[in-house]
């Protein structure tokens, strides 16, 4: 067995790669595409491009008193939620602002990139700012996922159902129907290496897990169709109270982007409207829908701790048997470098790879957690309320961004992300 170990890129090389990738995934979009804000949950694409640039300007470059900011109003326009930095332009109104235009934002990116690249030639600069730069790169990779989810939502709102990328990536595995069983015991949870992680993945701590089993496969579209056909969206006994309210208030009858045409289920994807393949992992379901499906199936959602322990076990097996060391089969970066479109069509070896997977765990602090000092401490901790944890990454997650301890989080009614589910019992 040959093992391929890739050399770790320098921080400067990673900066170039991540920043270039944002340009790559937005290259085919028009200025009009980049202005649309189709829901309050989403942001215009050009806002994402500007905000990720604002992060480096605000938290790195402005620490140098000699730095000349690009535009004084950008500190207000492109601040997301950092109250310690200053006021923010209201999120629901981001799509109402037509200036700066896309060209102006690209000029802003080029200016900040040049300032960063010049300074990163200095060992002293890197010594002072390397951690913040790493946070900024991972932050931008999060927004790359949001770019894809937000433009998908925007295009879906257009009656013409435009295509973002017309090539289809379809590398799904056959569902095994297997379950993996784990003994009860005390297990260590949380980040455990010297590599980068977000603050919400620490500190590492011990949890007790009763004996449990977790499905080897993600729930598929075909299985979810069975739920629909059995009246799943019409049976209040399957739903949490707030979930049943959402079903009725928002007329949910299927996952987001699904439509039944002449008796056949279709779904809108980044490659346009396509037939639902029953073997695809179901995608764009809320926590409420995932929970209702699990109850209908006589199962439950895993806790995030069960998911992480099972994921660590699956990763160990995968690493032992693989001929190359990759990061859990994430492939958003490979898709675009190969000019292929993103679809949630791969169930992936191990636990990760196709869709973010809802867990039953509320998003809260680990024992002993303390947010970092300063404005950067607003990144994660202040959102630990009314959210649920998702694990596993998705087709929109870059390989260099994901790790098994990653804790994504969204409100229980969120559907526009690449979110699906895996059962436990």
Q: Are residues 318 and 175 located together in one domain of the fold? A: yes
Helix, strand, coil distribution of the chain in percent, nearest 5: 40, 15, 50
Q: In this structure, is residue 324 part of a structural domain?
A: yes
* Whether the predicted pLDDT of 320 surpasses 80: no
Q: Are residues 190 and 278 located together in one domain of the fold? A: yes
C-alpha–C-alpha distance, residues 40 and 101, integer Å: 20
Q: Are residues 290 and 364 located together in one domain of the fold? A: yes
Q: pLDDT tens-digit profile of 151-175?
A: 999 999 999 999 998 765 455 556 7
C-alpha–C-alpha distance, residues 326 and 6, integer Å: 9
Last residue of a domain, one of 111, 141, 156: 156
Query: What is this structure's pTM?
Result: 0.92
Q: pLDDT tens-digit profile of 274-291?
A: 999 999 999 999 999 999
Q: Are residues 173 and 58 located together in one domain of the fold? A: no
The mean pLDDT value for 167-189 works out to 80
Task: Give the confidence band of 176 by pLDDT, cuts at 50, 70, 90.
Answer: confident
Cβ–Cβ contacts within 10 Å for residue 207, how many? 18
* Whether the predicted pLDDT of 333 surpasses 50: no
Per-residue burial over 16-47, b = 16 or more CB atoms within 10 Å of its CB, e = otherwise: bebbebbeebbeebeeebbbbbbeebbbbbbb
Q: Are residues 248 and 267 located together in one domain of the fold? A: yes
Round to the nearest angstrom and report the end-to-end CA distance of the chain: 36
Number of domains in the chain: 2
| Angle 309-315-321 from CA coordinates, rounded to 5° | 145
Q: Are residues 123 and 146 located together in one domain of the fold? A: yes
Coil, strand, or helix at residue 201?
A: helix
Consecutive H or E run containing 349: none
Last residue of a domain, one of 156, 191, 222: 156
Residue 396: give the domain boundaries. 163-425
Q: In this structure, is residue 147 part of a structural domain?
A: yes
Q: In this structure, is residue 203 part of a structural domain?
A: yes
Q: pLDDT tens-digit profile of 213-269?
A: 999 999 999 999 999 999 999 999 999 999 999 999 999 999 999 999 999 999 999
Taking CA atoms, 211 is separated from 91, 120, 425, in Å, by 44, 50, 9
Q: pLDDT tens-digit profile of 338-381?
A: 333 455 554 444 788 799 999 999 999 999 999 999 999 999 99
* Nearest residue to 362 via CA among 392, 383, 393: 383
Q: In this structure, is residue 58 part of a structural domain?
A: yes
Q: Are residues 411 and 291 located together in one domain of the fold? A: yes
Q: In this structure, is residue 1 part of a structural domain?
A: no
- Contact (CB, 8 A) for 156 and 259: no
Q: Are residues 243 and 364 located together in one domain of the fold? A: yes
* Nearest residue to 100 via CA among 137, 72, 135: 72
Consecutive H or E run containing 390: strand 388-391
User: Which two tokens mark 114?
Assistant: 């040049």
């Amino acid at each position: 067995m040959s093992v391929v170990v890739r050399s770790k890129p320098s921080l400067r090389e990673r900066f170039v790669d991540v920043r270039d990738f944002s340009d790559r995934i937005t290259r085919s979009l028009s200025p009009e595409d980049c202005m649309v804000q189709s829901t309050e949950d989403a942001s215009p694409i050009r806002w994402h491009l500007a905000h990720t640039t604002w992060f480096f300007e605000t938290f790195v470059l402005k620490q140098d008193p000699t730095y000349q900011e690009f535009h004084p109003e950008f500190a207000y326009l492109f601040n997301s939620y950092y109250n310690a930095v200053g006021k923010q332009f209201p999120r629901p109104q981001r799509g109402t602002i037509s200036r700066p235009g896309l060209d102006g934002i690209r000029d802003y990116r080029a200016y900040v990139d040049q300032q960063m690249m010049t300074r990163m030639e200095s060992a002293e600069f890197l010594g002072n700012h390397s951690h913040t730069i790493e946070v900024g790169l991972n932050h931008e990779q999060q927004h790359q996922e949001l770019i894809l989810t937000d433009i998908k939502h925007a295009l879906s709102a257009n009656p013409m159902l435009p295509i973002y990328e017309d090539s289809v990536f379809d590398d799904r595995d056959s569902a095994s129907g297997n379950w993996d069983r784990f003994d009860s015991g005390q297990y260590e949870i949380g980040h455990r290496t010297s590599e980068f992680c977000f603050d919400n993945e620490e500190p590492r701590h011990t949890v007790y897990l009763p004996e449990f089993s977790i499905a080897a496969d993600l729930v598929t579209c075909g299985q979810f169709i069975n739920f629909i056909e059995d009246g799943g969206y019409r049976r209040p006994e399957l739903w949490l109270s707030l979930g049943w309210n959402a079903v009725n208030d928002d007329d949910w009858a299927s996952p987001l982007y699904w439509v039944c045409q002449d008796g056949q289920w279709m779904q809108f994807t980044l490659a346009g409207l396509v037939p639902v393949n029953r073997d695809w992992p179901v995608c764009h379901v809320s926590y409420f829908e995932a929970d209702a499906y699990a109850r209908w199936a006589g199962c439950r959602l895993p806790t995030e701790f069960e998911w992480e322990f099972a994921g660590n076990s699956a990763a160990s097996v995968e690493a032992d048997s693989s001929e190359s060391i990759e990061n859990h089969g994430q492939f958003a970066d490979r898709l675009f470098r190969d000019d292929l479109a993103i679809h949630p069509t791969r169930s992936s070896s191990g636990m990760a790879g196709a869709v973010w997977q809802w867990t039953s765990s509320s998003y809260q602090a680990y024992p002993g957690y303390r947010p970092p000092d300063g404005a950067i401490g607003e990144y994660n901790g202040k959102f630990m309320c009314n959210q649920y944890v998702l694990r596993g990454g998705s087709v929109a997650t870059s390989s260099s961004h994901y790790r098994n301890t990653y804790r994504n989080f969204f409100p229980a009614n969120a559907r526009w992300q690449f979110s699906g589910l895996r059962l436990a019992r």
